[in-house]
């Protein structure tokens, strides 16, 4: 977070001093300026806790709480129920996930038709994945088709999903990605966000957003200067500037 604001500040300074050629900032100068940026350790700890809580890493959040003294902003016990829903979707057990959501708060699905449709769509995908063709067609006709009649986007998604049945080899299917694990993860994330929202919590962790902002700031600065850039975000390694 401090690095992001540091990059923004450097960008502002360089724009004021900009000539016809790029400004070159050495590693020594960059690190000196970076060290001058002060940020409280408590704020960094809160950022970490926010990520652990939002993504549902209960054990890690508990350990981090003991080690850092950072209090989570929600009851960690509530994370367990939320993660049970997420795990059910990720494992393809959508019916169980729907039951668990309704046990937590029936209004989540009652007030979110898009989420409910996506869960039902995922149920259809799982039936197709398991080769239950007749059951899949019956489910699509009885549960999803009526919703498609009321919403054009739902109908288009339903048609995409049903088109999986037309291909024996899904590797040649233009919508074969629906059978990828990534589709389960996408639906699980949507459910996770809806539960968090229903509990009046942020649905997205702050850390990924800050990293995106850092990438944007670096891209802006690239046009103005050569400086020690971070390309490997996982290690936050500064690379020597290239002129």
Inform me whether the pLDDT recorded for 125 exceeds 90: yes
Provide mean pLDDT across the span 25-31.
Answer: 87
Inform me whether the pLDDT recorded for 100 exceeds 80: yes
Burial environment of residue 118 by CB neighbours within 10 A (0 to 12, 13 to 18, 19 or more): buried
Helix (H) or strand (E) holding 49: helix 41-55
Inform me whether the pLDDT recorded for 16 exceeds 60: no
Provide mean pLDDT across the span 120-136.
Answer: 95
The first and second tokens of residue 79, run together, are 């994370």
Q: What is the pLDDT of residue 4?
A: 61
Q: pLDDT-based confidence at 201, cuts 50/70/90?
A: confident
Residue bearing the bigger pLDDT, 242 or 89? 89
Residue 85: half-sphere exposure toward Cβ, Cα within 13 Å: 26
Give the domain ranges of the chain: 2-38+211-239, 105-198
Q: How far is CA 124 from its chain centroid?
A: 24
pTM of this prediction exceeds 0.85: no
Inform me whether the pLDDT recorded for 102 exceeds 80: yes
CB 211 within 8 A of CB 233: yes
**Three-class SS state of 229:** strand
HEC profile of 160-197: HHHHHHHCCCHHHCCCHHHHCHHHHHHHHHHHHHHHHH
How far apart CA 55 and CA 215 sit, in angstroms, is 22
Region of poorest pLDDT, from 53-57, 109-113, 181-185: 53-57
Q: pLDDT-based confidence at 172, cuts 50/70/90?
A: confident
How far apart CA 153 and CA 157 sit, in angstroms, is 6
């Amino acid at each position: 977070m401090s690095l992001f604001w540091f990059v923004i500040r450097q960008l502002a300074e360089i724009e004021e001093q900009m000539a016809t050629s790029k400004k070159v900032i050495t590693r020594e100068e960059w690190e000196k300026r970076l060290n001058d940026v002060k940020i409280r350790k408590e704020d960094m700890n809160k950022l970490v806790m926010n990520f652990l809580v939002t993504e549902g890493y209960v054990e890690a959040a508990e350990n981090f709480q003991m080690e850092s003294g950072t209090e989570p902003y929600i009851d960690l016990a509530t994370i367990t129920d939320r993660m049970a829903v997420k795990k059910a979707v990720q494992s393809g057990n959508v019916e169980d996930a729907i039951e668990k959501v309704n046990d937590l708060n029936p209004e989540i699905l009652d007030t979110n038709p898009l989420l409910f449709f996506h869960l039902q769509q995922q149920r259809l995908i799982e039936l197709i994945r398991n080769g239950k063709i007749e059951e899949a067609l019956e489910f699509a006709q009885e549960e999803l088709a009526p919703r498609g009649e009321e919403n054009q986007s739902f109908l288009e998604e339903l048609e995409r999903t049903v088109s999986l049945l037309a291909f024996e080899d899904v590797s040649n299917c233009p919508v074969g990605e629906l059978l990828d694990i990534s589709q389960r993860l996408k639906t699980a994330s949507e459910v996770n966000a809806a539960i968090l929202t229903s509990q009046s919590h942020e649905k997205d962790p702050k850390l990924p957003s800050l990293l995106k902002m850092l990438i944007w700031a670096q891209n802006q600065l690239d046009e103005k200067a050569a400086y020690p850039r971070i390309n490997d975000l996982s290690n936050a390694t500064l690379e020597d500037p290239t002129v």
